[in-house]
Amino acid sequence: MPTVSLATIRALVVAAHAAGMLVFAHVTTAAAAIDVVNQGVDILAHVPFEPLSPT
């Protein structure tokens, strides 16, 4: 499945936040959820089925 680079996600988040918008991300894995949240995504749409790390 194609993915967007973390640098691109971060740039999109910065631009959206500068425009006063929230950023939603659709993720399919726990690792991807952690990655996008670390880049500043505000809301996860369709969270993964696998458990997130307890840390």
Write out pLDDT tens, residues 1-55.
678 999 999 999 999 999 999 999 998 888 888 999 999 999 998 776 776 666 5
* The pLDDT value given to residue 54: 65
State the pTM of this model.
0.81
Q: Could you tell me where the beta strands, DSSP code E, fall in the chain? A: 24-26, 43-45
DSSP state of 41: -
H/E stretch holding 47 reads none
* The pLDDT value given to residue 29: 85
